[in-house]
Structure 1
Amino acid sequence: MMTDLETRIDRLESTEAIRQLVSRYSLSLDMRDLDAHVNLFAPDIRVSRDKVGRSHLKRWLDDTLRLQFTGTSHHVGNHVIEFDDADHAHGVVYSKNEHETGPEWVIMQMLYWDNYERIDGRWYFRRRLPCYWYATDLNKSPIGDMKMRWPGREPYEGTFHALWPSWKDFWANPPQSDEPEVAEPAPLGEFLKRMRRDAADPRIRVR
């Protein structure tokens, strides 16, 4: 049984380990070290309805990267991490990305909804749900609807705002007085839960 101080130190070390996990994801992906990359995920990571494991994830990544991208650069930013228990956590991290894809240079703004798990003393991704705001050629502003604009594809809507009920609420409910009500702060460790209006973690559609 850990003391309170040991528990607090473990939480700090876990938080830093998860932040390093996210940074290593970007570096290993951009440098195409797929072995380093897939080993950031749990050994039994689900890749599709009938495929589980790092080897299948590596093949899927290899096929995707060779087909679509000459080069990429992922810049991670804001990172909120909350713990479910000592060995499980979830978080949201922003990512601003650049992609060389054929004759176009595509920039992207997105966030990941992550689930993390500590296995045998090390933190891994249990899953990553990408939520996109826009993707567009560097020289074309993503103004208007259907901001996901990849070369060779019809534009489509991303899910950058879809996880957060506040987005629709804000636009649907302008202030009715000069002093709008202010909600109580979220309980400690439940900021994301409060922002999600107590909804369950978003699910990934398995291919």
Structure 2
Amino acid sequence: MTGSETMTAESKRARVRRLLIEPLIADGFRKRQKDGDEAHQHFLDRLADSVAYMSDDGLRGLRRCLSTKGEGSARHFWPCFATIIGHAEAFEKRPLAELPELLRWFASKAGPAALEAGRHVEEYEFWKKFKRPPTHPEDQHKVAEKAAQWQSKAQRVREEIQRLGKARWPQDRQWLDWYEAQGEYVRELIEGKAE
């Protein structure tokens, strides 16, 4: 890790400590008696690293939410890591770019199959929302349905631009730019060119 990477990681941790951890400690949260100081510090560092992607407002909201989620009979012990991360995801979804182990799905056989079927953008959006693949038949149906809708919309906007020289509505052009950029990004993931 370079010096600038270390500084960035430290500054992210410091921000999470200032907006989330220190206010919760001030509210009365403390380590469990069975945990040693080193284990508790590791927990807090892991927590800070895991929620550093969140905005300041998201961290403030998470703090308010967690302040009522203390564990133990006095409700003053830190909730478990999974509980905190679950609430963090409810406030702000973690970007998939920060979860390379999940993005490997697109480098597997599933990625080229999604690309060939024209549903690669929609599968990526499903992953962003649920952090899992659309393996259930109901999920697959929803993804395929969304792909058909978005492909139809993209075709309509492209035809308007070709015919009129611009999209009928500015937001349609913005959406098309986003859709095409997402399509290219996911294509690069599938081909192993994106990080």
Relative to the length of structure 2, the TM-score reads: 0.25
Relative to the length of structure 1, the TM-score reads: 0.24
Higher helix proportion? 2
Structure number with larger C-alpha Rg: 2
Choose between structure 1 and 2 for higher RCO, CA contacts under 8 A separated by at least 6 residues. Answer: 2
